[in-house]
A and B are shown apart, each in its own frame.
Chain A
């Protein structure tokens, strides 16, 4: 019989350096899944003791106490107490303490030690504490707590071997089971402060980097300017740096597709491979450069400690629509893609605010809308200048972004007032010390997030593309009938059904047809229109350049503007809907989201169309 390796849980306050210690102990061999029954991420990994015995480690979500006020904290409590169904109770705990913040972190440590599990304390970030002028006596702390204390600097891999050795010793020492002792909150607080004071050997005024940086980064005016500059840089990077790799990926898939076209006889199977499988995988991979750059920025901002400062700066602005600084980062991510944005809402403490943020995330102009906007603007908006250095085309593009943001603000106020009925939002958050991000941790995290994105979004987009391929390929149009395959297919017939509905907002049959495949990913609308207009183009760029004149000849300006307005609001992406279902644990909210967004899109397109018509466009 094989015996399960012992399970050791790393537990501690947020910002104690827990994840860095976890990475240092387990290396890159980590598994990411969800805890049973909840959408809280479970990170686990393997470490080995000196004698070669494996040990399974989990990185529990950061918590302030065993009395939870967020989903994450509830998971930590349930795992520590052995109350999480389908999850075994840890055999030992490693409590991670920030040496520079003992007063606060000891309170939770005392509560955890009272649970009676074998415990080792990692007194982490002792280097930062020393930098701040703080000298601590670890042995005295161990005596006061009654458990072994090991000094560590996770990011420099200091103290790891002693920590593992102590953990091994603690696990292998038979000990009587201890009944957990309930401790009152106040007494615990007082005790924590007393211990913290007693273990300080010396305390001098440190250099206080954090305070000095904050006086610049949180400056009432300067802080705003810096944040906006950072955002500008981030957008430049997401759109600018990704151009070349996206080109390589597209040509790579085009080559692959050509190779298969050359190697296989024309037929259903070849079409399945090139138009279904390769197009499907390609449409996912092509987002990867932008997503990676976005994640890189977000990880750097998080690891350095700036993220909570950005939330601080933006809090008042977000409060105007019933949200808070907590929602800022998820919404920002949604400008690249709503999927990582919605996944990032997990950090929002208030569940009503989290829901409202998820529901408005698709209104942020994601990168998939850009190809659609580019084609239509290029075809219909003259490249005039309306002022010094301001082109009309750019202005229209900018106003589409603004329209999305205004729509999101409006939706947020309405949702917070009438749907979630949240009375007030709240903003109460610890702001960690600034730290230089560690390349290794960033790289590992980037890889993990990219993998999670590929797995979640990839499977959905891929499946959707295959289904759409089938809808567009069957039934086969009779040979020589002169009817195009697109018109004859199931999708074409669905478009016949949709057409009367979208006719009042100025959409023609071709648009109705393009809207269907655009459900997989918005930018597919471009290649779908190209197909409808029987343009045989190798890729989106080529399709776009020859599509423009064709559209300009065929559509009225009013129709084109209505089409743009539609794409500002329409929930045109199955993956977003699927992720919303996963993150809200049911169909209720994705259905609500789809309904309100389609209603908004319909209204916006209709108003645009009829207004433009009344101006004779």
Chain B
């Protein structure tokens, strides 16, 4: 399931990240914020009003804001 479709407040694990669809700078920043396969992730909040964009997610022990177009490149699996 892609990160932008993940239900809120449910722990998940990153399965794969499609680096090729991300612009270089964003891929780089994503890596340096600790996004990589195997990491536990949790969607916490969605953006304002009807947009529901960007997303606030928890990665490791950190909260990160990212836009849904970037989140769509991150494939996750809900933890049982």
Given the known interface contacts A104-B34, A220-B46, the answer about A315 and B25 at a Cβ–Cβ threshold of 8 Å is: no
Q: Looking at chain A's contact residues, is the secondary structure mostly helix, strand, loop, or mixed?
A: helix
In the bound complex, how far is the Cα of B48 from the Cα of A316, in angstroms?
8
Q: Out of A185, A186, A316, A349, name the residue touching B54 (CB < 8 Å).
A: A316
B53: chain A residues at CB < 8 Å are: 315-316
A69 in contact with B28 (CB, 8 Å): yes
- C-beta contact mask, A290-319 vs B, less than 8 Å → 1, else 0? 000000000000000000100111011001
Q: Which of A100, A185, A211 has the most CB of B within 10 A?
A: A211
B66 contacts across to A, CB distance below 8 A: 427-428
Query: Are A426 and B23 closer than 8 Å at their CB atoms?
Result: yes
A220 touches B49 (CB 8 A): yes
Q: Answer yes or no: B15 CB below 8 A from chain A CBs.
A: no
Q: Do residues B63 and A431 form an inter-chain contact, with CB atoms below 8 A? A: yes
Contact A104–B56 (Cβ < 8 Å): no
Contact-residue bracket for chain B:
20 to 34
B79 within 8 A of A: no
Complex Cα distance, B47 from A224, in Å, reads 10
Bound state CA distance, A423 and B22, in angstroms? 13
Which among B26, B34, B61 is the interface contact of A107 at CB below 8 angstroms?
A: B34
The answer to whether B54 and A315 have CB atoms under 8 Å apart is: yes
Which residues of A sit under 8 angstroms from B48, Cβ to Cβ?
Answer: 220-221, 223-224, 313, 316
Inter-chain contacts of B26 with A (CB < 8 A): 426, 428
Complex CA distance for A521 and B28, rounded to whole angstroms: 43
Taking a contact as CB atoms under 8 Å apart, the answer to whether B60 and A101 are in contact is yes
Any B CB within 8 A of the CB of A210 = yes
Query: When A214-B56, A220-B46, A428-B66 are in contact, do A100 and B33 touch as well, CB less than 8 Å?
Result: no
Which residue of A185, A218, A224 contacts B49 across the interface (Cβ within 8 Å)? A224
Query: CB-defined interface of B59-73 with A at 8 Å, one 1/0 digit per residue?
Result: 111111111011000
Cβ-based interface call for B78 (8 A): no
- Which residues on B sit within 8 Å (CB–CB) of A319? 67
Residue in contact with B47 in the complex, picked from A100, A107, A312, A424, CB distance below 8 Å: A312
Q: Complex formed: what's the CA distance from A104 to B34 in Å? A: 6
Among A315, A350, A430, the residue within 8 A (CB) of B63 is A430
* Contacting pair B23 A428 (CB below 8 A): no
Say if the beta carbon of A65 comes within 8 Å of chain B: yes
Q: Check B49 against A312 for contact (C-beta < 8 Å).
A: no
Contact A218 B45 (CB under 8 A): yes
Cβ of A427 and Cβ of B45 under 8 Å apart? no
Contact (A104, B54) CB under 8 Å given A69-B29, A426-B26: no
Chain B's nearest CB lies how many Å from the CB of A111? Answer: 11
Interface of chain B, helix or strand or loop or mixed?
Answer: mixed
Taking a contact as CB atoms under 8 Å apart, the answer to whether B46 and A429 are in contact is: no
Interchain nearest-CB distance for A228 vs B (Å): 11
A64 interfacial by beta-carbon distance below 8 Å: yes
Q: Is A189 an interface residue (CB 8 A)?
A: yes
Report the Cα distance A427→B31, complex, angstroms.
15
Once the chains bind, are A220 and B52 in contact (CB under 8 Å)? yes
A223 to B47, CA, bound (A): 9
Q: Given the complex of chains A and B, what is the CA–CA distance between A164 and B37 in angstroms?
A: 39
Find out whether the CB atom of B67 lies under 8 angstroms from the CB atom of A315: yes
Residue of B33, B36, B67 touching A427 (CB-CB under 8 A)? B67
- Complex Cα distance, B25 from A210, in Å, reads 28
Known: A102-B61, A221-B49, A426-B67. A67 touches B23 (CB 8 A): no
- B49 / chain A contacts, CB cutoff of 8 Å: 220-221, 224, 316
Q: A103 interface residue, CB < 8 Å from B? A: yes
For the complex, is B44 an interface residue (Cβ under 8 Å from A)?
A: yes
Chain B residues near A215 (CB, 8 Å)? 45
> Are B67 and A210 interface neighbours, CB within 8 A?
no
A211–B42 Cα distance when bound, in Å, is: 12
Cα separation A410 to B14 with both chains bound (whole Å): 39
A35-88 interface (Cβ within 8 A of B): 64-65, 67, 69
Whole-angstrom CA separation of A214 from B65 in the bound complex = 12
Whether B25 and A69, one on each chain, are in contact in the complex, defined by CB atoms closer than 8 angstroms, is yes
Q: Across the interface, name the chain B residue whose C-beta is closest to A134.
A: B61
* A17 CA / B60 CA spacing, docked (Å): 19
Task: Closest A residue to B69 by CB, please name it.
Answer: A424
Using Cβ atoms and an 8 Å threshold, which residues of chain A touch B67?
315, 319, 426-428
Shortest Cβ distance from B61 into chain A, in angstroms?
5
A residues less than 8 Å from B36 (CB atoms): 186, 189
How many whole Å from A535's CB to the nearest CB in chain B? 50
Task: Provide the residues of chain B in CB contact with A426, threshold 8 Å.
Answer: 23, 25-26, 67, 70
Candidate in A103, A223, A308, A350 with the most chain B CB atoms within 10 angstroms: A103
| 7 A-B pairs with least C-beta separation | A64-B32, A103-B60, A316-B51, A218-B45, A431-B63, A104-B34, A101-B61
8 contacts between A and B (CB under 8 A): A211-B44, A214-B44, A220-B48, A220-B49, A312-B47, A349-B25, A350-B25, A427-B54
* B interface with A by C-beta (< 8 Å): 23, 25-26, 28-34, 36, 44-49, 51-54, 56, 59-67, 69-70
A104-B34, A215-B45 given. 13 additional CB < 8 A pairs?
A: A64-B29, A64-B32, A69-B29, A104-B33, A214-B56, A218-B45, A220-B46, A221-B49, A224-B48, A316-B53, A316-B54, A428-B64, A428-B70
Which residues of A approach B to under 8 Å, CB–CB? Answer: 64-65, 67, 69, 100-104, 107, 185-186, 189, 193, 210-211, 214-215, 218-221, 223-224, 308, 311-313, 315-316, 319, 325, 349-350, 423-424, 426-431, 433
